Every structure is written in structure tokens, then in C-alpha cells.
Amino acid sequence: MRRDVFILGEVRDGRIHPVTYELLAWGKELANKLEAGLSALVLGHNLEHLEEIIYYGADKVFYFEHPKLGSFNVEIYADVLVPFIRKIEPDIVLAGATTTGRTIMPYLAGKLKAGLTADCTSLDIEEKTGLLLQTRPAIGGNVLATIKTPYCKPQMATVRPKGKKPLERDTKRVGEIEIIRPQIDLNPRIEILEIKPREEEISLVDAEVVIAGGKGLKDPKNFSLLFEISKLLDSSAVGASRAVVDMGWIEYPHQVGLSGKTVNPKVYIAVGISGAVQHLAGMINSESVIAINKDPEAPIFQVADLGIVGDALEILPVLKRKLEERKR
Amino acid sequence: MNIYVLVKQVPATDKVKIDETTGTMKREEIEAVINPLDLYAIEASLQIKELYKGDAYITAISMGPPKAEEVLREAIAMGCDGGILLSDRAFAGADTWATSYTIATLIKRLKPFSLIITGERATDGETGQVGPSLAGQLDLPIVTYTSKIIEINEEYSILERETEYGTEIVKTKLPGVISVTKAIGEPRLPTLRGKIRARNTKIEVFDLEKLGVRDEEVGLSGSLTRVVKVFYPKISRSGKKIKARNPDEAVDCIIKFLEERSIL
């Protein structure tokens, strides 16, 4: 039997989340190398436009429809997926390294006794064996490690969001959608009492402009300048280097780098960031980069399209004032 | 109420040195600390102890070399009641599945419990997989990314968790597993009384024999994944550098750059 590559789609607020399309792009590359099919597992309630998953690369969609699958509940997901994965025996299962993926995948792996690699930045197939090669940051993000799961199936991995662009949407692609209506007898021990959506805020990975600060800002208070400038730019968010997150100047969700988020905005503005390899790896795919740093030898300049040698604390207030003037 | 808190000893992240030839960490040269994110797990357990109406006993559990006993004493100094160390050469090289398996085996040998608490992830491996994998192996409910303990009793706990999309209020039956984030609150500092108690508390050590597992079930041989190679990321991109004579000139360059890319 041909063992397909599977991706676990992500659903939010009754809609297919875009990370699903990125996962299809990851999965397609592997499926092509293995000459296997690409299948998507989607769990939800009253979901529409499942054909989009085909348009973005899937050969087959297994859609599990049930009122209890309307929002993510790790126990119910596992109740549906564990027997299914045992029966189908996929070669590979991929999910996004989101809060959902990072919860359900290790939970499933624990139950299935399957190898799982977290937060991969690249995936490949080993030529001789056909095994999945999973590359991820290791040792605190100082190096990359390639990992494989030689003795058991499925080989499971989570990949970080924004790590790959979705394939071109192609409405001529054909595929099969199988709707499964599982019987869910499980009385889950976890009950979601309330969901409060976050107020609209441009997330770091979706922003067109990321303005990121490092130790060169000298004082945690100066991050407020970055936030003020960010507010003056459309679709903008604030990032940070690992060093300042470790020092507690700003929260971890702002961290860009191997051990933080990967971003690819139109413009990445690195302020007072020297550009350790760990940081560069998270922003190197930005369309363009502006670097502001006092040290002309800082490695960040090697990746900058516009490098400004100067004191960020003198430049930022002027930038803020000039942007404010333009707004008027 | 019995509570188990999982803690790990990790290298201090910013001081990691890599052996250029082997690509492995020079462990002996690095200062070892308690995983900073585990302090929040300890803090959560202490908050639960305060919130709970009856008696609660918190045991910190770690797996590592004999030296990892230090992090258990640190947990006791902060307010935990006891510590257990899983330590044996055979446990070395464990991936997240084998680590979870070893801890799960221990927990099955211990007294019944209400909660297992973990941090979000360890700052060395950064997988965040041990908590959910352990819950899967023990068939327990898990609440990840917990940001607040709202209610706790013998039967259930009400918790707040944070995701990319917002906040959820969840109710979970006990026993269960929770992993907590920094949002749980600033970890308290060790007290003098705690430090004295930490010095005088006997740490129970479980080795392979005492745990009652076979060599091949744990450590590297019990692991489902293998590291094939370790390497430095390659970065290449070309850029140009200007030296601004004054901030005004620098800002004009930035604004022009943003205009050219239709940001402004």
C-alpha cells in the first residue's frame, strides 16, 4: 500500500486557517520526492470551501464533521485521530508549530508511540531510505540539527508558520473530499467554557513592516519608541532579539530568530541588533532589510539593503517626529 | 492533594559554547541553571497550594545527572515540599518520547496525584513536547499555555489559557497535566526558611533498577528519533552600508526607502 504524506489542517472560527495552505506546500515537496499522495486531515463543524485545500495541493481531504469538533479540544481530536492514524498508517504527519499543533502533536505522538520533531525549519527526504529528514534549531538556537525517525511510523513533525509560501492556488486541480462523520462517545474531561478573541492587533508574522530592537536600545523603556513608530506605519509590528527577551525587556512572543518567530515582511528594520546567526535565521527571508547600528562591523550590515551606522537613540526620535508630520 | 512539578537543569543560554569540530555543546564549560521557564511552573504550583482549601504537597521531579539535584533544592527553597531525581547513565540521550516515558513510569510508581505541572518548554531543547507527550502516555487531559489559575478543588480546575487567537477559559477534570506560560506571574524568590529546608531535605533518587525498567526502554536506545547531524545555519545576502552624518539624514534615507517600497 502506498503510504501518503498527511498534513493536519488548522481551523479557527469555522474557517480554514492559512497555515493549512503552508503545510500543503511543505507536504507537496515531500510527497513528490516519495512519489506518494498528499492528504489533509481536517476536523471541524459546518466547514465550507474544503475544495480550497485541493486547490492548494492536496490529493485527498479527510474531513471529520461533528458538532463537538467546532473548536479545538485536544482530547476529542485525539479520540478521532488516534484510531484513524492507526488504521491508515501514514508515512508522515505534519502540523503547524502553533499552540494547537504544539499541543495535539506531542499528545498524539505520546499515544501512538511515534517520533516527533518540534518546530522544524526545513524538511527533506533521505535518498536511500526514503526517511523524513527534519531540521530544527538546537542547543538554544545556536545550531541546526537534522533529525530522523528510523524505526517507527508515522514520522511526525511540526513546522513553524511562515516558513514556506503556499503553492499557487489552482482551481483546475482535482482531488477527492471524503466526509467522515465520526461517532464521538468520549465525554471529554476538558471543557472550554469561554473563548475571548484577542483584540485586533497585527501579528508579528503577518506584518508588512517589522521594527525590531536589540541591546543597542540600551534601556527597556526605549522599546516604547519602537511601539510608537510601529503605530505610525500601516500593518506594522514590533520584534526583538533573543538577548533582550532573555533580559526581560520585552515578552517572548516578540522574539525573532531561530528560537523565536520567523518573519518575512516587506521591510525589516533592525534597530540596535548586532545580527547573531540566531537572529538572522529568523529574518533573512524578509524582502528588504534596514539596519541601524553604532558598530560598523556588526554582522547585521551584511544582510541589510540599507545600513545606517549611527546611534539608534538619536535616530528613532527624529524618525518618529517625521512620520508624525507626514500623518498630519 | 499531591502535585508534581517537572523541572530541568539547562545550560545558561547566552553562554553556550559549541565545539566547532563535533558541533556539540561543551557542557563542562557551561554554567548550569534551572530552566527559567520552569520557575513559572513552580510558581503555579505554589499559587495552587494557596488557592486550594485543603492540604497540598508539592514534589519537584527532575531527570538528569546527579548534579541536577541542585534544581530540586532550588524548587524546595522556593516552597516545594520534596524532590525526586531520575538519574542513571542509561537515561542519557533521551528524546522527548523517551523522557516522557521515563517520567510517566516514575509517576505510575508514586502516590496518586491531582496535577502535573510543567513550564512551556526548556530553553535548551525548546520543544515543549514533554508535557503533552506525558499526558498522552498517561492518558490524562492536558491544558497547555495556561496563563492563570482561576479555581481548584479535588474534582476539577478552572484555568485560563492563551493562544495566538485569544484567551480561553477551560475547565479540566483532575487528575490532569497543565503547562504554564510566563503570564502565570513573577516567580517568587527563595526564602531563608526555604533555603534551610532545601539543605536538609533528602532528595530521593530513582535509577534504572529502582524505576524497574529495562535499559533499551530509556535514554538514547528508548528514543524514537535520532540526530543525524548538527551544523551552523548558512546566511548569505548582500547589502550596502551608508554612514549618516546626522540623524536627520539617516531618517530621510529610511523614509525614502519606505516610500520606494510603497510602505509610505
Q: Residue B17 pLDDT more than 70?
A: no
From CA B56, how far away is CA B82, in angstroms rounded?
12
In 3D space, the residue among A95, A60, A97, A55 whose CA is nearest the CA of residue A78 turns out to be A95
Is the CB of residue B248 less than 8 Å away from at least one CB of chain A?
yes
Cell of B120: 512551556
Q: Which CATH class is domain A5-180?
A: alpha beta
Distances (CA, A) of B233 to A82, A134, A144, A273, A276: 36, 14, 6, 18, 11
Per-residue pLDDT band for B27 (boundaries 50, 70, 90) equals low
List residues bridging with A16 in a β-sheet. Answer: A11
What pLDDT does residue A1 have? Answer: 42
Could you report the per-residue pLDDT of B105-118, keeping only the tens digit for each? 999 999 999 999 99
Min CA distance, B115 vs chain A (Å)?
Answer: 14
Instruction: Quote the pTM value.
Output: 0.87
Angle subtended at Cα B126 by Cα B91 and Cα A140, rounded to the nearest 5 degrees: 95
Could you report the per-residue pLDDT of A207-220, keeping only the tens digit for each? 999 999 999 999 99
In this chain, the answer to whether the domains covering A5-180 and A209-327 adopt an identical fold is yes
- Phi and psi at B214, nearest 5°, equal -90, 155
Per-residue pLDDT band for B18 (boundaries 50, 70, 90) equals low
Residues B115, B155 contacting (CB under 8 angstroms)? no
Taking a contact as any Cβ pair under 8 Å apart, which residues of chain A between 165 and 194 contact chain B? Answer: 188-194
Q: Where do the structural domains in chain B lie, given as residue ranges?
A: 2-222
CATH 3.40.50.1220 fits A209-327, yes or no: yes
What pLDDT does residue A234 have? Answer: 87
Report chain A residues whose CB lies below 8 A from the CB of B127: 106, 118-119
The beta-carbon neighbor of B170 closest among A113, A140, A193 is A193
Cell of A123: 524538511
Distances (CA, A) of A248 to A54, A203, A252, A261, B179: 44, 20, 9, 17, 20
Q: Which of A85, A107, A318 to mutate to test the interface with B (most CBs of B within 10 A)?
A: A107
Cell of B20: 566547532
Angle subtended at Cα B36 by Cα B171 and Cα A104, rounded to the nearest 5 degrees: 40
Could you report the per-residue pLDDT of B134-193, keeping only the tens digit for each? 999 999 999 999 999 999 999 999 999 999 888 999 999 999 999 999 899 999 999 999
Who wins on pLDDT, A247 or B197?
B197
Per-residue pLDDT band for A140 (boundaries 50, 70, 90) equals low
Per-residue pLDDT band for B262 (boundaries 50, 70, 90) equals confident
The verdict on a CB contact (< 8 Å) between A306 and B240 is yes
Could you report the per-residue pLDDT of A100-137, keeping only the tens digit for each? 999 999 999 999 999 999 999 899 999 999 999 999 98
Q: Which residue of B has its CA nearest to A295?
A: B243
What pLDDT does residue A171 have? Answer: 97
Could you report the per-residue pLDDT of A143-165, keeping only the tens digit for each? 889 999 998 999 999 998 888 88
The mean per-residue pLDDT over the stretch B211-221 comes to: 96
Q: Residue A251 pLDDT more than 90?
A: no
The verdict on a CB contact (< 8 Å) between A267 and B263 is yes
The mean per-residue pLDDT over the stretch B81-93 comes to: 97
The mean per-residue pLDDT over the stretch B97-101 comes to: 97
From CA B209, how far away is CA B215, in angstroms rounded?
9
Q: How many CB pairs under 8 A join A and B?
A: 277
Mean pLDDT of chain B: 92
Could you report the per-residue pLDDT of A29-63, keeping only the tens digit for each? 999 999 999 999 999 999 999 999 999 999 999 99
Q: Can you say whether residue A5 is alpha, beta or left, with left for phi > 0 and alpha for psi between -120 and 50 degrees?
A: beta
Report chain A residues whose CB lies below 8 A from the CB of B134: 110
Give the homologous superfamily in CATH for domain B2-222. Answer: HUPs (3.40.50.620)
Per-residue pLDDT band for B19 (boundaries 50, 70, 90) equals low
Is the CB of residue B234 less than 8 Å away from at least one CB of chain A?
no
B234-252: burial string, b at 16+ Cβ within 10 Å, e else: eeeeebeeeebeebeebbe
Q: Where do the structural domains in chain A lie, given as residue ranges?
A: 5-180, 209-327
The beta-carbon neighbor of A252 closest among B143, B182, B237 is B182
The verdict on a CB contact (< 8 Å) between B242 and A307 is yes
Q: Residue B241 pLDDT more than 70?
A: yes
From CA A259, how far away is CA B10, in angstroms rounded?
15
**Does an H or E element contain B105, and which?**
helix B96-109
Taking a contact as any Cβ pair under 8 Å apart, which residues of chain A between 26 and 55 contact chain B? Answer: none
Min CA distance, B180 vs chain A (Å)?
Answer: 12
Q: Percent of chain B having pLDDT more than 90? A: 78
